[in-house]
Amino acid sequence: MQDVIVAPAPPAATPQPPRKRRPFRKTAEPFGFLAPTLVLMFVLMVIPVVLVVGYSFMDNVILTKEPEFVGVDNFVTVLTDGVFLTAIRNTLFFTISSVVAHLVIGLGFAMLLNSPLIGTVSRAIFRALYILPWLFTAAVIAVLWRMLLAPNGVVNFLLDTDVEWLASPALALGTVTFINIWAGYPFFMVSLLAGLQGVPAQLHEAATVDGANGWQRFWSVTIPQLRPIIISLTLLDLIWTSQQFALIWMTTGGGPVNVTEMLSTYTYKLAFSRYEFALASTSAVLVLLMSMVLAFFYVRHQRAED
Amino acid sequence: MPKTRTSTPADGSVRTAPRPRSKIERRRSRQRVGVVIGLVLGAIFAAAPVLWMLASSFKSNTEIFEFPPRLITDNFSFDAYTAIFSDPEKVQFFVNSYVVSFSVTTLTLLVAIHAAYAFSRFDFPGKRPINMVIVSVQAVPPITLLIPYFGIVVALGLYNTYPGLILTYMVFTLPYAIIMLTGYLNTIPKELDEAVRMDGAGSLTALWRVLVPVSVPGIVSVGVYTFMIAWNEYLFALTLTRTQDMRTVPIGIQLLMGQHSYEWNEIMAMSILGSVPVLVLFLFFQRYFISGLTSGSVKS
């Protein structure tokens, strides 16, 4: 299951009475309530981000006491590393394929569940079944699919094939992407189902009266109504999926020969397999920059919605 | 949907039915068949792997890859589960996960409810920027934080300890909890706690005597979600612990994959047991859970 980023709706500022000087105690009070949060955020976020950005311009960090400033050398090294470029390509493929498939499958299932042609009980049952993949953590999903996709596993039996799904250089990237698609669509489905239930029935009726068929109603009523949700979900999923580590690490570990290497696994290996903490920090800063670009669009979109 | 030209319904009911079914009714029933087929195919896609995992946990290890594969095999047994419960090392994974997850949940709720109270009921300089920071913190990649965390945790002597995990997990759980709880407190009329404060009680009393009791549903749903994030966390647990006796369930599952020969039935049993807390929480709190989740992305 993924961490959830929700509702950045800033609390509505209370309408202010004409400015009066408030006594110090009044101003200090909310900071008293915020103090533990501010301290934790400073220790867990501000300091680490400053450190990692600092490390990215140094050498010999963490492991030795004498780091030296090397300017942008690390950035040159990382950006010209063929494996880093492969990792970017793989991350792009993995992320975009996953997000598109999450959206298509999530919307398809949400529309099936929202169909007026099925009863309440069957809707509840199917919804529970469809949510299932989402309730398992990445470690469980990884071992489950490793069993299913083993050379003598049940998938090869059903397809009458004899394929090393996760070990073949030609198939591994597609396979981990498929597993991620299976694991991640329910978040879209749940949110889109809630969205579909909020589409006013009159809109569909009006479109029907105007002679629109099902396909036309889908494109001219359903999709425009869901657009804000779809944009939010897509941006959130782009952020999460591009950061995916656990699933890749436990299925392929980035192999075979880097064909499933992602930015996350590449960075992890630099730090904790090769102990190149400075280079790892550089890679981590680049990943941070990409996430911040996506987060910027997400926050801006949410603001616009408010 | 192609239009049928014949006037006879497909099911031949025209002879017995007193009145022929209308065109619309026939189209409806064909649509229903389509929807049901879609639903069933979707259910197979979603649930068959999970069913196979459950079934495999009851097999003997040799039966898991038998040919042809069967869902229920001759040696149906709970042996894999017994094996896990009788191995103190594996039980320890669960103990660790529960200790860490409950601690993270308690601390997160305690810190977050006060922050949410400040955001919901007070105006103060820097309110918007602080709120923006808390929102955007959620997009910072865990891998970016991991490298400095490793250095900090080692330097503080928290490497391979519970506090090391509990503290670092709060970077994920705290922003989410603050945002959700602020939203929840905003739905509670201000008059409620202002009345108490007018009577001379302090703000802290108003929070704990008035707001917290009426916010129980919101606190519970945030607590459930926090617990799940902590229970499922993998990257930090992998990197910030070292010894077997400090490992959490997700790492334990992975360790089973590496040890001696693959005991697939035990791996599956461990996976099921490791998923039970989340499944149970979801079952009981489904309604809160889904509404909490979607409240951000879905605007009514």
**At B145, which CATH number?**
1.10.3720.10
Same domain membership, residue A265 and residue A224 = yes
Domain count for chain B = 2
Mean pLDDT of chain B: 85
Indicate the pLDDT class of residue B86, thresholds 50, 70 and 90: very high
More confident position, B2 or A114: A114
Is the pLDDT score of B11 beyond 70? no
Q: Which of A36, A53, A74 is the last residue of a domain?
A: A74
Contacts A194 to B, Cβ<8 Å: 290, 294, 298
Distance CA B292, CA A172 (A): 36
pLDDT of residue A24: 61
Distance of CA A172 to the CA centre of its chain: 20
Residue B71 belongs to a domain? no
Same-domain pairing of A57 and A99 = no
Q: Both B115 and B160 in a single domain?
A: yes
What's the pLDDT tens digit per position in B146-197? 999 999 999 999 999 999 999 999 998 999 899 989 988 998 898 888 888 8
Task: Compute the average pLDDT of residues B34-43.
Answer: 92
What is the enclosing helix (H) or strand (E) of B5?
Answer: none
**A296 lies in some domain:** yes
Using the predicted structure, report yes or no on whether residue A198 has a pLDDT greater than 60: yes
- Per-residue model confidence (pLDDT) at position A9: 46
B73 belongs to a structural domain: no
Judge if A288 and A145 occupy the same domain: yes
> Of A58-72, A166-180, B147-161, which range is least confident?
A58-72
Q: Is there a domain that residue A20 lies in? A: no
Q: Which of residues 37-56 of A touch B (CB under 8 A)?
A: 37-38, 40-41, 44-45, 47-49, 51-52, 55
Tell me the C-alpha distance between B160 and A72, whole Å.
Answer: 34
CB contact under 8 A, B131 and A147: no
Chain A closest-CA separation from residue B152 CA (Å): 8
User: A232 and A295, same structural domain?
Assistant: yes
Stretch B80-90: mean pLDDT, rounded? 92
A16 located within any domain: no
Q: What is the pLDDT confidence band of residue A77, given thresholds at 50, 70 and 90?
A: very high
ipTM of the complex: 0.85
Give residue-wise pLDDT tens across range B267-290.
999 999 999 999 998 888 877 766
If you measure CA to CA, which chain B residue comes closest to A195? B298
Is residue A6, in this structure, part of any structural domain at all? no
Residue A150 sits in the same domain as residue A97: yes
**CATH assignment of the domain containing A139:** 1.10.3720.10
Distance from CA of B124 to the nearest CA of A (A): 6
Calculate how close chain A gets to B161, using CA atoms only, in Å.
17
Nearest Cβ partner for B171 among A45, A130, A285:
A45
**Does B62 fall in a domain?**
no
Residue type at B109 in one-letter notation: L
The residue-averaged pLDDT of B236-263 equals 88
**In this complex, do B141 and A291 lie within 8 Å of one another by their Cβ atoms?**
yes
Structural domain includes residue A134: yes
Taking a C-beta distance cutoff of 8 angstroms, is the pair A207, A216 a contact? yes
Average pLDDT, chain A: 87
Residue in B37, B51, B147, B290 to test binding to A, most A beta-carbons within 10 Å = B147
| One domain for residues A68 and A90 | no
- What are the chain B neighbours of A271 within 8 Å (beta carbons)? 146-147, 150
The count of domains in chain A is 2
Same-domain pairing of B276 and B141 = yes
Shortest alpha-carbon distance between residue A177 and chain B (Å): 15
Note whether B35 and B134 are same-domain residues. no
Is A12 inside a domain boundary? no
Average pLDDT over every residue of A24-42: 86
Kindly indicate the confidence band of residue A25, based on its pLDDT and cuts at 50, 70 and 90.
Answer: low
Asked if the model's pLDDT at residue B238 lies above 70, the reply is: yes
The chain B residue lying nearest A263, using CA atoms, is B143
For residue B147, what pLDDT is reported?
A: 93
Co-location of A161 and A287 in the same domain: yes
CA distances, B271 to each of A77, A155, B75, B228, B274 (Å): 41, 20, 20, 15, 5
B53 band by pLDDT with thresholds 50, 70 and 90? very high
Q: Which amino acid is at B28?
A: R
pLDDT tens per residue across span B198-221: 887 788 888 998 899 988 888 988
Tell me how far the alpha carbon of residue A189 is from its chain's centroid.
15
Lowest model confidence (mean pLDDT) among A23-32, B52-61, B242-251, B277-286: A23-32
Of the partner residues A137, A272, A292, the one whose CB lies closest to the CB of residue B139: A292
Q: Average pLDDT, stretch B71-99?
A: 91
Tell whether B255 is covered by a domain.
yes
Give the residue numbers spanning the domain of B5. 1-56
Same domain, B293 and B175: yes
Q: Do B250 and A139 touch (CB under 8 A)?
A: yes
pLDDT of B261 higher than 70: no
Check A137 against B275: CB less than 8 A apart. yes
Size of interface A-B (CB pairs under 8 A): 313
Out of B32, B52, B131, name the one closest to residue A117 (CB): B32
CA–CA gap between residue A281 and residue A262 (Å, rounded): 15
Per the structure, the complete domain to which residue A212 belongs is given by: 86-305
Based on the fold, state whether residues A114 and A65 are members of the same structural domain.
no
Q: Do A126 and B42 touch (CB under 8 A)?
A: yes
User: What Rg, from alpha-carbon coordinates, does chain A have?
Assistant: 24
pLDDT for B199 equals 80
Give yes or no: residues B102 and B45 share one domain: no
On whether both B187 and B130 belong to a single domain, the answer is: yes
- How close A270 comes to chain B (CA, Å)? 10
Q: What pLDDT does B297 receive? A: 40
Same domain, A156 and A222: yes
Residue B91 has pLDDT above 90, yes or no: yes
On chain A, the residues whose CB falls within 8 A of the CB of B146 are: 268, 271, 284
Residues B125 and B32 occupy one common structural domain: no
Q: How long is chain A?
A: 306
* Residue A137 to residue B278, Cβ atoms within 8 A: yes
Average pLDDT of span B228-234: 93
Residue B19: the pLDDT is 59
Residue A220 within a domain? yes
Using a CB–CB cutoff of 8 Å, tell me whether A118 touches chain B.
yes
Asked whether residue B1 falls in the same domain as residue B115, the answer is no
Q: Is there a domain that residue A5 lies in?
A: no
Percent helix, percent strand, percent coil in chain B, to nearest 5:
75, 0, 25
Residue B69 domain-assigned (yes or no):
no
Question: Which residues numbered 192-231 in B keep a CB inside 8 Å of some CB on A?
Answer: 203, 225, 228-229, 231
User: How many H-runs (helices) and E-runs (strands) does chain B carry?
Assistant: 13, 0
